[in-house]
Structure 1
């Protein structure tokens, strides 16, 4: 019987706020599928084995085979696990250097060993000297897979489009009555319109643009309130209409997203999926978003969404909010129903993931 092994450059099980790390933790908890998980774990045991990427000195950085050196400890552990001659089924999660380190020495592992890669970005640059040695690649969207075919002159692995899944039963809408009651904790009224934003402060997430959008909107709408989550406190956000929550745990996240009416997803890069976008929609927010990367596929079933085709232009986001105001007052919006529970659910993702691993 093959040994199922997962390789991660991030610590597992997850102890910090994360996205796929929480999902993998839940998957292992529910299925116990992986015999061993190699990562810089904080709690090593027979299943969770401590491995971490090596730092390179300046000379090593200039030499060839950098990825092999970076992933040395992971590969040495794989050699130990394969010493019994059982074939290995190895899944590398979203780390190209570790994938390369294993692929280039794959022939040293037991006969029948298979190597899989879970890609969490949009398009994937796939040099043949690595990816001809990879058996399967898992994509988040069909759009990401098709884009990968466009940018690579050859791409040989078997492919599965497995998407994403929101972990936690708390990601669901609440009634307007409960929403109004909980908003009182922030001093907000029933007439206020609340927009939410969730990400870290990396430039590609567009917080610098969102600040300018909000400044424009507050000049027009005194009843506008802003709830931003996930980023470090910004000293220039001193408006009484803006609440900065900071980082919160996955279990606490729904109680903030559920307060929102609309969610601004100001991403200005090719998103692989946009998990926070799915979390916000499941909590009842209407998404106002760029259409970059796989976003349009992720939202294809959502009845109401507003796309900003030119996400680097502040005025276009302001106009999109005006479009949202017209939408929320329309009979179509009021009568529309949507199954938030099953959409982008963890359970559906788990079945796709298991199928990809076992096929």
Structure 2
């Protein structure tokens, strides 16, 4: 039976907040198919997995500079696991640069044919140029993407992909992100001292491509005394009427802000791989208005679950969508209960791994 090796640049479980690190934490705490985990040493460890830790000592950094490779430690860890008579599924998360060297190592050990390499990509558009991309895809056995639209974008760019492709959307903890009834929602608004307010929410990292400035410019145009905009993820302290900057909020506290919000704004200016916060907001009952970029249209099922803005830099589109919400809101469908859940993700990942074991 094939053994499964997961290679991560980030320690798992991770102390940082991220969509895929959260997913893998949940996955590795439950019924999973991973046998070995290669990563930096975490503060706490999973009990049901065998670790090989990567090192970042001064000597390792010198070697990396000399050989111009930042992943020598991960390759050394991999060489300690693989045996000449074994079969392996090697799963790599987002680290393009390590893949050719994994292939070289396996060829040197004369076990490349006994291994399958799965590459899990959390972006949306093709990352590599055509020449490098096609060589890269010849080196892997399976590409795992977040959306069907990302797969189509890859096919448009490369014309063909010489590897298998699987789709595994992101997921959330449905036990934490859920809709409150009207009474409970009002109670939570009272606790947060925002009773009687129409609550808008923006939640992301404060980088230009995430569109916070788009949301603030929009707010200047639509602000009324009965409206309030909550900003999560930004360290800004500027004073803007009706805007509350909440700073960075722990993941465990995020649900209550989604649950008291009426409208979730997602004005991204980049091709998002997925847009996980949209699913968190939808699951909590928010009316979602989002940029139609990257994987977002597919996540919202092209307008079935939320309002899509075709030109995110056109403020009039956003203003029209807000006016529509306030006067005659579109009755969007609710997400199916099992569409983007941890349980669905776990079963999907186990299926992808088990199907790869048949060789």
Same fold, judged at TM 0.5 (above) = yes
Matched, 1:137 2:143: yes
Kept after mapping to 2: 8 A contact 1:288/1:306: yes
Q: Any idea what SS the aligned residue of 1:258 has?
A: helix
Query: In the TM superposition, what is the alpha-carbon distance from 1:33 to its structure 2 partner?
Result: 1.9
Change (3 A) 1:357 1:276: same
Matched, 1:180 2:186: yes
Change (3 A) 1:304 1:3: closer
Aligned partner of 2:176 in structure 1 is 170
- Deviation digits for residues 24-48 of structure 1 (CA, Å, limit 9, x no counterpart): 1111111142111111232376623
Matched, 1:345 2:350: no
Question: What TM-score, normalized to structure 1?
Answer: 0.88
Matched, 1:123 2:125: yes
- Deviation digits for residues 131-190 of structure 1 (CA, Å, limit 9, x no counterpart): 201001111000000110111144211111111111351111001211111112232223
2:164 & 2:309 partners in 1: Cα distance?
A: 34
- Deviation digits for residues 39-86 of structure 1 (CA, Å, limit 9, x no counterpart): 1232376623322676579975xxxx84xx222111111111013632
Map 1:9-158 → 2, pairs under 5 A:
9-43=9-43, 47-51=50-54, 66=68, 69-83=69-83, 85-109=85-109, 110=111, 111-125=113-127, 127-158=133-164
Query: In the TM superposition, what is the alpha-carbon distance from 1:278 to its structure 2 partner?
Result: 0.8
Query: In the TM superposition, what is the alpha-carbon distance from 1:358 to its structure 2 partner?
Result: 1.2
Map 1:294-309 → 2, pairs under 5 A:
294-300=295-301, 303-309=304-310
Equivalent residue in structure 2 for 1:203, among 183, 205, 208: 208
2:117 & 2:64 partners in 1: Cα distance?
A: 30
Aligned partner of 1:311 in structure 2 is 312
Corresponding pairs, count:
343
- Deviation digits for residues 290-320 of structure 1 (CA, Å, limit 9, x no counterpart): 1101111111187442111110223322222
Kept after mapping to 1: 8 A contact 2:305/2:333: no
- Deviation digits for residues 314-344 of structure 1 (CA, Å, limit 9, x no counterpart): 332222211222344xxx73xx763553231
Kept after mapping to 2: 8 A contact 1:72/1:101: no
- Structure 2, unmatched stretches of 5+, are none
Change (3 A) 1:304 1:73: closer
Of stretches 344-353 and 319-328 in structure 1, the one that deviates more from structure 2 is: 319-328
Q: Any idea what SS the aligned residue of 1:105 has?
A: helix
- Structure 1, unmatched stretches of 5+, are none
Query: In the TM superposition, what is the alpha-carbon distance from 1:277 to its structure 2 partner?
Result: 0.9
Change (3 A) 1:84 1:13: farther
Query: In the TM superposition, what is the alpha-carbon distance from 1:121 to its structure 2 partner?
Result: 0.7
Aligned partner of 2:266 in structure 1 is 265
Kept after mapping to 2: 8 A contact 1:37/1:47: yes
- Deviation digits for residues 265-299 of structure 1 (CA, Å, limit 9, x no counterpart): 01111111111111111111111001101111111
Q: Any idea what SS the aligned residue of 2:30 has?
A: helix
2:225 & 2:63 partners in 1: Cα distance?
A: 55
2:206 & 2:101 partners in 1: Cα distance?
A: 31
Kept after mapping to 2: 8 A contact 1:44/1:50: no
Question: What TM-score, normalized to structure 2?
Answer: 0.88
Matched, 1:357 2:347: no
